[in-house]
């Protein structure tokens, strides 16, 4: 209406027309240009974000490959250096010449060979247990963690305890194994780096999540440290924790207690009841 | 200039026919239909020996038809439910207003108010289209979309002619003829942008496709 009133004054009509049209065109063209540049900026930003994520994934993948390789090398070394010589010695005791020896020597050789074979069986069992703890397979995560903590406490150097508050329904075996490996890695880190006097693990659940909390009173990590290690080339163990948790869609939080007396690590995984193994 | 404007309609028409196969599936057909109608309307108004009142009615009907075609194009290019509803309600109100206005007041040469309101409403719809593109882009580069060029054409034409249409009722015949060049330039730019829209190949790559392609090559 205001513009129409202006329009009635014929002297200013051309001015309104000129400036109005120019103004509208400038606004329109600026808007189009802004939209084009804004869209480019947004896409560039998203691509940068994706690149960072890809690099992180690459790091995790490398860490997990490296871990596998290390595990294979350890297995190969155990089999080659321990099982190989034992079996070769047993073979020496049971060579073709044994039949030509006297009965006492024969019995002694067979006894020695039997002992060596027993040792080899024990060795292979130990290797197998390190790959998949039988307690975990047969009795579940709670027993496996208890077992591990009893062994650690038994050494007398650190007080390790654990308490599962609500673990009536077992998780899927693959998930349990992953969680066990994560706990193992965390405990290993505490033992190696923290100089802690105690480690305490608790387990809790709510409707859909399972929480495992690890407390210790030594030197620890905060979430910022954990993220920094994840982005850097070092911290292979932490990257393995991250990649294992990614497989089971879990989360991990590192924090220092408000009282500044101990560190707390919380692992959060979803409870998928349809896959659960009844204990 | 009038001659140039009239024949500038033929550029997008030829481009559309030249690229008929790739324009066939998109909603650019609406714009093609508009160009043909606009061209014929201009010829009729300019060359047919008809009375001033008939010309006024023709222009009145043309304004409403032009609005309906533009609004329908924008309606089909926008995906937000709320925006679509807004376009629909505004369009109904506008069509009723324009018809009532054009056919009740016939002492003018040009339907100034419906045309300026049309320009304003179309600009609003174009802003909604751009806002939607910012919020959830449908393709990697906006300017590879046919609809982008058409909306640019509509917006520049509407923005350029808004003040002219608004002021036209207060202008004398001589002044109107003098300033009508703005509308003609706007028309030429619009037709050229429509021709660009008809010429470009529709971009099948969405932004997500591009990002996933990047991911594939990175790892």
Q: What is the CA radius of gyration of chain B?
A: 19
Report the complex ipTM.
0.82
Residues listed for chain B: 219
Read off the pLDDT of residues A213-249 as tens digits, 9 standing for 90 and up.
Answer: 999 998 888 888 888 887 777 777 888 888 888 888 8
Of residues A145, A250, A244, A268, the one with CA closest to residue A199:
A145
Choose the closest CB to B130 out of A16, A24, A35.
Answer: A35
- CB contact under 8 Å between B218 and A36, yes or no, is no
Residue A213's pLDDT is 93
Residue B183's pLDDT is 86
How many angstroms separate the CA of residue A223 from the nearest CA in chain B?
A: 27
Kindly give the pairing relationship between strand A209-216 and strand A198-205.
Answer: antiparallel
How many whole angstroms separate alpha carbon A14 and alpha carbon B167?
9
- CB contact under 8 Å between A16 and B163, yes or no, is yes
Choose the closest CB to A25 out of B142, B156, B207.
Answer: B156
Q: How many helices (H) and strands (E) does chain A have?
A: 9, 7
Residue B109 DSSP class: S
How many whole angstroms separate alpha carbon A97 and alpha carbon A160?
54
Percent of chain B with pLDDT over 90: 28
- CB contact under 8 Å between B143 and A36, yes or no, is yes
Interface test with A, best of B123, B131, B170 (most A CBs within 10 A): B170
Name the residue with higher pLDDT: B207 or B135.
Answer: B135
Q: Please say if the pLDDT value at position B52 is more than 80.
A: no
Low-confidence ranges of chain A (pLDDT < 50): 1-7, 274-279
How many angstroms separate the CA of residue B140 from the nearest CA in chain A?
A: 8
Q: How confident is the model at residue B189 (pLDDT cuts 50, 70, 90)?
A: very high
Residue B72's pLDDT is 92
Q: What residues have CB less than 8 Å from B212, skipping those under 6 apart?
A: none
How many angstroms separate the CA of residue B165 from the nearest CA in chain A?
A: 10
Residue A9's pLDDT is 54
Mean of the per-residue pLDDT values for chain B? Answer: 83
Of residues A190, A187, A174, A194, the one with CA closest to residue A148:
A187
Residue B133's pLDDT is 84
Tokens standing for residue A11: 């002297």
- CB contact under 8 Å between A24 and B141, yes or no, is no
Residue B56's pLDDT is 81
Structure-token match 């509803």, residue found: B85
- CB contact under 8 Å between B166 and A3, yes or no, is yes
Residue A66's pLDDT is 82
Q: How confident is the model at residue B54 (pLDDT cuts 50, 70, 90)?
A: confident
Residue ranges of chain A whose CB lies within 8 Å of a chain B CB: 3-4, 7-8, 10, 13-14, 16-17, 20-21, 24-25, 27-29, 31-32, 35-36, 38-40, 42-43, 46-47, 50-51, 54, 57-58
How many whole angstroms separate alpha carbon B194 and alpha carbon B196?
5
Q: How confident is the model at residue B205 (pLDDT cuts 50, 70, 90)?
A: low
Residue B70's pLDDT is 92
Tokens standing for residue B179: 């300033």
Read off the pLDDT of residues B21-38 as tens digits, 9 standing for 90 and up.
Answer: 877 767 888 899 999 999
How many whole angstroms separate alpha carbon B109 and alpha carbon B54?
10
β-bridge partners, A205: A210
Could you tell me which chain A residue has the CA closest to the CA of B162? A21
Interface test with B, best of A1, A3, A18, A24 (most B CBs within 10 A): A24
- CB contact under 8 Å between A20 and B163, yes or no, is yes
CB pairs under 8 A between A and B: 87
Choose the closest CB to A8 out of B127, B170, B179.
Answer: B170
How many whole angstroms separate alpha carbon B179 and alpha carbon B167?
10
Q: Please say if the pLDDT value at position B92 is more than 90.
A: yes
In sign, the C-alpha dihedral spanning A258, A264, A265, A267 is negative
Q: How confident is the model at residue B90 (pLDDT cuts 50, 70, 90)?
A: very high
């Amino acid at each position: 209406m205001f513009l129409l009133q202006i329009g009635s004054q014929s002297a200013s009509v051309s001015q309104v027309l000129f400036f109005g049209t120019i103004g509208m065109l400038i606004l329109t063209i600026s808007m189009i240009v802004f939209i084009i540049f804004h869209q480019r900026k947004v896409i560039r930003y998203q691509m940068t974000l994706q690149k960072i994520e890809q690099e992180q994934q690459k790091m995790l993948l490398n860490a997990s490959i490296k871990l596998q390789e290390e595990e294979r090398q350890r297995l190969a070394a155990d089999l080659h250096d321990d099982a190989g010589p034992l079996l070769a010695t047993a073979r020496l005791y049971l060579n073709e010449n044994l039949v030509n020896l006297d009965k006492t020597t024969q019995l002694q050789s067979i006894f020695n060979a039997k002992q060596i074979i027993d040792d080899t069986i024990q060795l292979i069992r130990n290797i197998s247990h390190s790959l998949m703890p039988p307690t975990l397979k047969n009795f579940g995560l709670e027993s496996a963690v208890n077992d591990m903590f009893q062994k650690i406490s038994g050494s007398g150097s650190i007080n390790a305890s654990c308490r599962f508050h609500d673990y009536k329904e077992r998780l899927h075996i693959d998930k349990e194994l992953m969680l066990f490996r994560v706990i193992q890695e965390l405990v290993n880190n505490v033992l190696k780096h923290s100089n802690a006097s105690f480690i305490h693990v608790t387990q809790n659940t709510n409707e859909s999540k399972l929480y495992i909390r690890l407390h210790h009173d030594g030197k620890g990590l905060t979430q910022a440290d954990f993220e920094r290690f994840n982005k850097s080339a070092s911290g292979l163990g932490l990257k393995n924790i991250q990649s294992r948790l990614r497989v089971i869609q879990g989360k991990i939080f590192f924090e220092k207690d408000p009282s500044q007396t101990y560190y707390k690590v919380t692992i959060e995984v979803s409870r998928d009841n349809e896959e659960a193994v009844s204990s | 200039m009038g001659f140039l404007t009239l024949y500038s309609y033929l550029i997008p028409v030829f481009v559309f026919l030249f690229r008929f196969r790739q324009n066939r599936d998109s909603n650019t057909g609406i714009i093609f239909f508009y160009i043909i109608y606009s061209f014929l309307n201009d010829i009729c108004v300019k060359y047919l020996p008809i009375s001033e009142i008939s010309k006024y009615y023709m222009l009145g009907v043309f304004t409403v038809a032009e609005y309906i075609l533009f609004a329908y194009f924008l309606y089909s290019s926008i995906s937000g439910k709320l925006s679509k509803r807004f376009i629909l309600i505004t369009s109904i109100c506008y069509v009723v207003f324009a018809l009532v206005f054009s056919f009740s007041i016939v002492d003018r040469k040009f339907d100034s108010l419906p045309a300026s309101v049309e320009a304003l409403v179309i600009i609003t719809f174009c802003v909604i289209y751009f806002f939607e593109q910012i919020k959830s882009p449908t393709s990697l580069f906006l300017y590879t979309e046919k609809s982008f060029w058409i909306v640019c054409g509509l917006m520049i034409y509407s923005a350029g002619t808004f003040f002219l249409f608004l002021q036209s009722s207060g202008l004398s015949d001589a002044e109107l003829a003098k300033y009508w060049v703005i509308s003609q330039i706007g028309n030429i730019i619009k037709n050229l942008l429509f021709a660009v829209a008809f010429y470009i190949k529709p971009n099948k790559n969405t932004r997500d496709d591009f990002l996933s392609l990047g991911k594939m090559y990175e790892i």
